[in-house]
Structure 1
Amino acid sequence: MKTTGNTILLSGGGSGIGLALAQRWHDAGNTVIITGRNATKLEAAVADRANLHAMTLDVTDPDAIAAFAKAMIARFPALNILVNNAGVMMYEAAGAERDLADAETTVVTNLLGPIRLIDALIDHLVAAPDSAIVNVTSGLAFVPLPKAPTYSATKAALHSYTQALRVQLEGQVEVIELAPPAVRTELTPGQSTREAYMPLDAFADEVMALFAAEPTPAEILVQNVLPLRNAEADGAVAERLAFLKAL
């Protein structure tokens, strides 16, 4: 993937990993468009940065995605990279019958959202030069966090979807997976201050160095995520699942 001179659409870019990467890609000489549902947060994120733009989008709404894609292409016809980063993570107690609203929201946001956004933009991306799709999954795609079963399942599903998409789009659109470890963001309450989690700036710096490698790795994996990514190959899934259970 080219590291400069792109027009990049990044969903969920108002805070956390999305914003950190958006700012670094912008600093590297790319036009970047971030999306989210909170217009105030988005506008604050792009303030005083030329060629860093904000557009509101609710990735749980299929009609909004379709309308957004048309508006996006009309406003930014040079668009060549889509980064599916928007996501939610909620803890769930699955030991008794419950309201499944959180689980359903997680599936729609984390899995159907990227699938729908890819579909809405795929014809444009196939025709664009140096095009790429980056799907942000998680180390939890490989070993689930027991208290976040639906989140972990959606990331495992997006990992699988990304692998299949890569084969289908070979020679047309580069398909890359970014699987973060636990990073200090506000994805869940208190996460931004947990000492055991990777500092956001350190994560973003390592990610950008990996994107700069030639050729770009099919999977962008910082060192902190390797124990989860390699758990099955290491024969350590049960051990690492027990570790996550204790968190």
Structure 2
Amino acid sequence: MDLSQRTVLIVGGTSGIGRELARRFAAAGSTVAVGGRSARARTDLSGEGIDAFDVDVTDEESVARARDAVLDRHPGLDTVVTMAGVMLMEDLRDPGHFAAARTTVDTNLLGTIRVVDAFTPHLIRRGSGTFVTVTSGIAFLPFPPMPTYAASKAAVHAYSEALRAQLEGTGVGVVELVPPAVATGGQEKVNPHALPLDDFAEEAMGLLAQEPTPNEILVERVHMHRWAERDGTYADLVAQRSQALAMLPGRQG
């Protein structure tokens, strides 16, 4: 992928990984827009010369309004990155966890589908373009305190595979970005081993720049997650990660 000649929309790009990718696409010479809910973050990004649009991926009408506004301003849009998401812990022994599960699925999975559906006709009409979906190493190696997060990201992986197959021949590609734990959004406090954001972005952008672009963008740190079953390490790693269940309020003491 030529990173210098794109017109990119990053939905969920007002913070964390998305914001850093937006800056790096812009620095490479691409035209960049972001979508998100934070008015303050949108103002800050606008001050950096990055167009910012209000969008709530859990609201179909909000996504449609954002699509129309983005395409009105950037009719040459060719790359849509959909990465809005939430990470919520749940204790499955407490039925009250269902509210968190519903929010997670509505944002991470259905939010991805809403964004993809909104822009698919545009990209097919232009005969070229790329969707970049964002999953997680947790899609392949669950983190037991976040069961629905893991399930939602595994679902986005499967959806991305099916989307790629269905769009074959249209000129529209599908690339899946698979981050490990990255030191942003508080991850650095929970996980001292989280990959620094700059390191992740540098490696990910290098992989995106390859020709042809890989179907999955896998930085080195995420390989242990992605290939755990293949490498025979899955059961041991899940058992190790299950120790984190002590983080749940109902499991303490």
Q: TM-score, normalised by structure 1?
A: 0.94
From 77, 80, 95, the equivalent of 1:79 is 77
Aligned to 1:90: 88
Distance 1:137 1:46 in 2: 27
Aligned to 1:54: 52
* Structure 2 contact 91–97 (Cα < 8 Å) conserved: no
Aligned to 1:169: 167
* Structure 1 contact 79–128 (Cα < 8 Å) conserved: no
Q: Deviations over 1:172-192 (max 9, x none)?
A: 211000000000011xxx423
- Aligned residue pairs, count: 242
> Are 1:232 and 2:229 counterparts?
yes
Structure 1 counterpart SS, 2:66: helix
Aligned to 1:35: 35
Compare 108-117 and 59-68 and name the one that shifted more. Answer: 59-68
Aligned to 1:143: 141
Distance 1:93 1:176 in 2: 33
Structure 2 counterpart SS, 1:233: helix
Letter in 2 for 1:19: R
> Are 1:198 and 2:221 counterparts?
no
Cα shift at 1:3: 1.4
Q: Deviations over 1:135-174 (max 9, x none)?
A: 0000011011100000000000000000011111113211
Cα shift at 1:48: 3.1
Aligned to 2:251: none
User: Which 4+ residue blocks in structure 1 deviate beyond 6 angstroms?
Assistant: none
Letter in 2 for 1:178: L
Structure 1 counterpart SS, 2:212: coil
Alignment of 1:15-34 (within 5 A): 15-34=15-34
Distance 1:7 1:105 in 2: 30
Distance 1:235 1:228 in 2: 11
* Structure 1 contact 182–198 (Cα < 8 Å) conserved: yes
Aligned to 2:11: 11
Aligned to 1:178: 177
Aligned to 2:104: 106
Compare 134-143 and 60-69 and name the one that shifted more. Answer: 60-69
Distance 1:4 1:222 in 2: 21
Distance 1:55 1:132 in 2: 20
Cα shift at 1:99: 4.8
Structure 2 counterpart SS, 1:91: coil
Structure 2 counterpart SS, 1:232: helix
Letter in 1 for 2:179: P
Structure 2 portions without partners, runs of 5+: 245-253
> Are 1:157 and 2:143 counterparts?
no
Distance 2:48 2:120 in 1: 31
> Are 1:213 and 2:206 counterparts?
no
Distance 2:107 2:67 in 1: 17
Structure 1 counterpart SS, 2:193: coil
Distance 2:28 2:46 in 1: 15
Which of the two has greater helix per residue?
2
* Structure 1 contact 2–130 (Cα < 8 Å) conserved: no
Distance 2:243 2:198 in 1: 26
